A and B are shown apart, each in its own frame.
Chain A
Amino acid sequence: MAVVPGMTELTAPYWEAAQEKRLVVQECQSCGQVWHPPLPRCPHCHAADLGWRQVRGDGTVYTYTIVRHPTHYAFADAIPYILAVVELAEGPRLVTAITGVPPEAVRAGQPVHVAFREVADGVTLPYFEPATRRDTEDVG
């Protein structure tokens, strides 16, 4: 059982890309700015011609919390888990969860890299885990 995102016309491309293990953020085709979450217009130049830019998936932990008490039955067995806001190298911040590290080891500013996980049939979420040397080399 998983908690899965409902999609709208605006948000579906983000999740479709995630299903293909690509992390994308919305990009203005007119002025080139990027942001997240998606908007119907560019908030900088008000252009309606928007696209999606694939990002490297590198970021740092901006803030985090270790959840030790579930507020939804779907997460009762996941306790404890690490919720975080990750700041992408390209600028935008995402709400996500950090995996692959014991809760006590997560640190502010820690370099992290996207790790996709299929949580339900056809639904993949971008998580983040501590960056390894290989992540950096992949990018290079």
Chain B
Amino acid sequence: MIRRDVAIVGIGQTAYGKALPGTAWDLAIEAILAALADAGLEPRDVDGMCRFAPPFEPVSEPQLVRALGIPELRFFAESPLGGEALGAVLAHAAAAVKAGLARTVVVYRALSQSKGGRFGRADTRGPGGAGAADPGAHVLVPEEDNRSFAWPYGLMSPGQLFALWARRYAIVHGLTDEDLTKALGSIAITQRRYANNNPNAMMRDRKMDWDDYRGARMISEPLRLFDLCLENDGACAYVVTSAELARALRDDPVYVLSATQTLSPYREPMGIYVTGELLELFPPATAERLFAEAGVGRGDIDVAEFYDATSYMPLRSLESYGFVPDGLAWRYVTETGTGPGSPLPVNTHGGHLSEAYLHGMNAVLEAVRQLRGTAVNQVANAEIALVGAPAGSATILAR
């Protein structure tokens, strides 16, 4: 168990934007230096690094050790599966600190979609996309993780996959198209309002009402443009150390109560071949473990930051993490809502839909700000926060 033995002692980020100057390497350096400065530490203090595995994280440990002049890393680890690494990178950092394998671990995520390819494109304009030199020639999809069974039909982007999930939710729970639109739109609009108050948010100046939401083009039904996350450049980093060292460095460390990662057959973050019910990609057992190890209950959570590559994910996460009974979140988000003053404010920075897309790292940073009491959309007296990805990779943090 991690419970309060490990803390996040520094956070740092770059600006977020559609096309920022500098490479992902530049952005990673900037975010890491900011996180270390926030912690009152120097690059020479760093002896551990955890990151998202390639291709999700383009900046390598050797690049950073060289550029930052870190004398020696004695622990470094990479976590696969994109957004599902959200809890894993922190779990690895916390485990290393608890085991004494490292003392000060930097966790980072840098992204340059303007230079490295847009996640929403599956051709040569996207990272890892498939294309042909001659645009009239056939495109051969290399067989990798069953991609060759999906791409030839045109199932090539996360947004299309998550549309299949969202439709399944409506099928299982008997929602009409209008029910689903209201639910997804409530989430997108609520997050946009949070972002409008967040100076770091890419959509801070872009208001969105129901006409804007409904009027936006359909991308992959039932998902419209504003149900999908942003594509952007930016970087985030945070510093993990022992609770003891954290208290020596600052008077408001944010403690890690628990951090989970999970993997079961076909229950993969981009899974579609689940042999049971597709909605159970989000495993309830992992959520139980997350809360049990943290020693807190659902009612103790003051604010939640849910991974939101699409608006469907926070909807289902309310259920899978046990805040709302299965099949009722679509009513909950339209009737009770997740905005300021609601029982459980969600994605208070604007999330991936309206702040920026950084594989959940910006959600961790927002949770830390909430627990320090420095968030722009501050939840009054927030003491415990949950950050969670759809398939159960998550953390519970406390001040």
Q: Please tell me which one of the listed residues B131, B153, B167 contacts residue A95 in the complex, with CB atoms under 8 A apart.
A: B153
Chain B residues closer than 8 Å to A5, beta-carbon distance: 141, 143, 148-149, 151-152
State whether B217 touches A74 (Cβ < 8 A).
no
Q: Determine the distance from Cα of A75 to Cα of B131 in the docked complex, in whole angstroms.
A: 12
State whether B168 touches A74 (Cβ < 8 A).
no
Stretch at the interface among B8-16, B218-226, B364-372: B218-226
| Residues 85 to 120 of chain A near chain B (Cβ within 8 Å) | 85, 93-97, 108-109, 119-120
Chain B residues closer than 8 Å to A37, beta-carbon distance: 146, 149, 273
Chain B residues closer than 8 Å to A4, beta-carbon distance: 138-141, 152
A-B pair count, CB < 8 Å, reads 141
State whether A73 touches B155 (Cβ < 8 A).
no
State whether A62 touches B278 (Cβ < 8 A).
yes
The count of chain A contact residues (Cβ–Cβ below 8 Å) is: 44
Residue of A nearest to B132 (CB): A1
> Range of interface residues on chain B?
35 or more
A68 at the A/B interface (Cβ < 8 Å)?
yes
B340 at the A/B interface (Cβ < 8 Å)?
no
Chain B residues closer than 8 Å to A11, beta-carbon distance: 143, 148-149
Shortest CB distance B272–A (Å):
6
A43 at the A/B interface (Cβ < 8 Å)?
yes
Q: Known: A63-B171, A71-B121, A71-B159. Contact between A125 and B141, CB under 8 A?
A: no
Which applies to chain B's interface (DSSP): helix, strand, loop or mixed?
loop
State whether B138 touches A8 (Cβ < 8 A).
no
| Residues 23 to 40 of chain A near chain B (Cβ within 8 Å) | 35-37
Q: Determine the distance from Cα of A5 to Cα of B145 in the docked complex, in whole angstroms.
A: 12
B123 at the A/B interface (Cβ < 8 Å)?
yes
Residue of B nearest to A96 (CB): B153
State whether B164 touches A72 (Cβ < 8 A).
no
Which applies to chain A's interface (DSSP): helix, strand, loop or mixed?
strand
Chain A residues closer than 8 Å to B163, beta-carbon distance: 65, 67
Q: Determine the distance from Cα of A52 to Cα of B333 in the docked complex, in whole angstroms.
A: 46
Chain B residues closer than 8 Å to A3, beta-carbon distance: 130, 138-139, 141, 151-152, 154, 156
| Residues 108 to 161 of chain B near chain A (Cβ within 8 Å) | 120-123, 126, 129-132, 135-143, 146, 148-157, 159-160
Chain B residues closer than 8 Å to A96, beta-carbon distance: 153
Most B CB contacts (10 A, CB to CB) among A65, A78, A84 go to A65
Q: Please tell me which one of the listed residues B131, B168, B273, B275 contacts residue A63 in the complex, with CB atoms under 8 A apart.
A: B168
B62 at the A/B interface (Cβ < 8 Å)?
no
State whether B148 touches A67 (Cβ < 8 A).
no
B265 at the A/B interface (Cβ < 8 Å)?
yes
Chain B residues closer than 8 Å to A48, beta-carbon distance: none
Most A CB contacts (10 A, CB to CB) among B154, B164, B265, B273 go to B154
17 pairs of residues in contact across A and B, judged by CB atoms under 8 Å: A3-B138, A37-B149, A65-B164, A68-B217, A69-B220, A72-B121, A72-B123, A73-B123, A74-B154, A75-B156, A81-B154, A83-B153, A83-B220, A95-B149, A95-B150, A95-B155, A120-B138
Known interface pairs A4-B141, A36-B149, A119-B152; 11 further A-B residue pairs with C-beta atoms within 8 A, sorted by A's residue number: A1-B136, A5-B151, A6-B143, A6-B148, A8-B143, A43-B265, A63-B164, A65-B220, A70-B154, A72-B122, A78-B154
Q: Which are the 5 A-B pairs with shortest beta-carbon distances?
A: A5-B148, A65-B163, A63-B168, A71-B157, A108-B171
